[in-house]
Amino acid sequence: MKVYADNAATTKISKKALDAMMPCFEITYGNPSSLHSVGQDAFHAVRDARNTIAECINADADDVYFSSGGSESDNWAIKGAAYLMAKKGKKHIISSKFEHHAVLHTLNVLEKEGFEITLLDVYENGLVKVEDVKNAIKDDTALVTIMYANNEIGTVQPIREIGAVCREKSVLFHTDAVQAVGHVPVDVKADNIDMMSFSGHKFHGPKGVGGLYCKKGIRLPNLIEGGAQEKNRRAGTENVPAIVGMAAALKDACNNMEENTKKLIAMREQLIEGILKIDLSRINGDREHRLPGNVSACFEGVEGESLLLYLDLMGISASSGSACTSGSLDPSHVLLSIGLPHEVAHGSLRLSLCEDNTPEEMEYILEKLPPIIDRLRDMSPLWEKIQKERTK
């Protein structure tokens, strides 16, 4: 059996997205900036896609900008807002400890440029406290940027409440919603969001395309100078097929969200229940406020990369936040941010599901996982130590 359980890394493109894209290569292949009818057809395709996406997140279509993906959107929004507000003497930015590197590394750069960065704690349950945001805001706070849902442990943040605090204090609010859009209901107006990043391939759209919602009135500096695309703010001929594919995928995801969510939660809980039967296992992140398809677990005495490669040999694709998968010596900053000791964080496994997965696949995972853990523990000197400690 083959089980793809790494949908937080990327998803398979949906049939609807693919079908929508194909004519853009062969029929509506024109340049949207061209005035002839081939170009105008492409222009209309991009316009329709923008309208569709705007509808899905309850935005005005004028406020949706296309980009190459989540990282670009995060860079654009955060650097843009920082430079914009610095002109008004505001150079303080609030974020959280477990943001995606597209956010954290951008903040590192800004810190070197003289901005002051406050990274909020996310506590054991992996949730930012609204009170903490409120208390961290100062007179010179330029921006608050908090992710909508965490990519590793799947916790969904109190975005609406954080947004409300920012509105009350007149501070710009950006959210990296790459893991949330298409997975949980997102409404930029009700959620009090000023700027929001999203990415096509996280919801069965193509890779290399994403977007930024930027509320009217926020004059972000231009990202790429050149032509008049994206209202002069991001030049370059539009990636028409990808934009059209992303819109089709998002529409499909939003239309089926209620049904998919039920199915996903059932499979997620099936996995969690089975995983917790394994000795010295734990589930990371709040059990209630989490993405429908995210299971993040740790197994003591086991190293995550070995675990995921043995799973791969069984046809199961998963991911791990162990040091050895990241190319650094420390395990994932996300797992450390929720207070896990290094040695526990090294034994992490993330299974991220989509609606194409089945309960039978979950059974298969739960059948294959325990013997692999046993095998790794049998050869683990760390497990030997843990066992000795327990029998003391």
Q: Report, in Å, the least distance between residue 92 CB and other proteins.
A: 34
Report the residue from 309, 314, 336, 366 that binds other proteins according to the rule CB under 8 A.
Answer: 309
When asked if residue 380 is in the footprint of other proteins (CB under 8 A), the reply is: yes
When asked if residue 305 is in the footprint of other proteins (CB under 8 A), the reply is: yes
Question: CA 351: distance to chain centroid?
Answer: 14
When asked if residue 301 is in the footprint of other proteins (CB under 8 A), the reply is: yes
Binding to other proteins (CB under 8 A): which residues in 197-226? Answer: none
Question: Which SS3 state, helix, strand or coil, does residue 384 take?
Answer: helix
259 CB burial (10 A radius; 0-12, 13-18, 19+)? exposed
**Residue 221 neighbours by CB under 8 Å, 6+ apart:** 80, 83, 84
When asked if residue 383 is in the footprint of other proteins (CB under 8 A), the reply is: yes
Partnered with residue 117 across adjacent β-strands are 93
Catalytic, 324? Answer yes
Please say which residue, 270 or 326, places its beta carbon nearer to other proteins.
326
Q: Taking the CB of residue 77, how many other CB atoms lie within 10 A of it?
A: 30
Please say which residue, 199 or 306, places its beta carbon nearer to other proteins.
306
Q: Alpha-carbon distance 185 to 180, whole Å?
A: 8
Q: Report, in Å, the least distance between residue 370 CB and other proteins.
A: 18
Q: Give the CA-trace dihedral at 149, 152, 155, 161, to 10 degrees.
A: -40
**Residues 150, 337 contacting (CB under 8 angstroms):** no
**Residues 229, 218 contacting (CB under 8 angstroms):** no
3-state helix, strand, coil in the chain (%, to 5): 45, 15, 40
Binding residues for other proteins, total number by CB under 8 A: 27
First to last CA, the chain: 42
Report the residue from 79, 346, 350, 368 that binds other proteins according to the rule CB under 8 A.
Answer: 346
Report the residue from 360, 379, 389, 391 that binds other proteins according to the rule CB under 8 A.
Answer: 379
**Residues 243, 46 contacting (CB under 8 angstroms):** yes
Q: Alpha-carbon distance 117 to 119, whole Å?
A: 6
**Residues 201, 10 contacting (CB under 8 angstroms):** yes
Which residue's structure tokens are 């929508």? 20
Stretch binding other proteins (CB under 8 A), from 145-153, 265-273, 342-350, 353-361: 342-350
Stretch binding other proteins (CB under 8 A), from 167-175, 190-198, 224-232, 373-381: 373-381
Report the residue from 313, 389, 391, 392 that binds other proteins according to the rule CB under 8 A.
Answer: 313
Report the residue from 127, 323, 353, 354 that binds other proteins according to the rule CB under 8 A.
Answer: 323
Report the residue from 155, 322, 332, 352 that binds other proteins according to the rule CB under 8 A.
Answer: 322
Report the residue from 14, 306, 332, 357 that binds other proteins according to the rule CB under 8 A.
Answer: 306
Interface map 260-299 toward other proteins (x if CB under 8 A): ----------------------------------------
When asked if residue 342 is in the footprint of other proteins (CB under 8 A), the reply is: yes
Say what angle helices 240-255 and 15-26 make with each other, to 10 degrees. 160
How many residues in total does the chain contain? 392
Report the residue from 172, 247, 302, 338 that binds other proteins according to the rule CB under 8 A.
Answer: 302
Stretch binding other proteins (CB under 8 A), from 86-94, 112-120, 186-194, 317-325: 317-325
Query: Catalytic positions, please?
Result: 324
Q: Which residues bind other proteins (CB under 8 A)?
A: 301-303, 305-306, 309, 313, 322-325, 327-329, 331, 341-343, 346, 376, 379-385
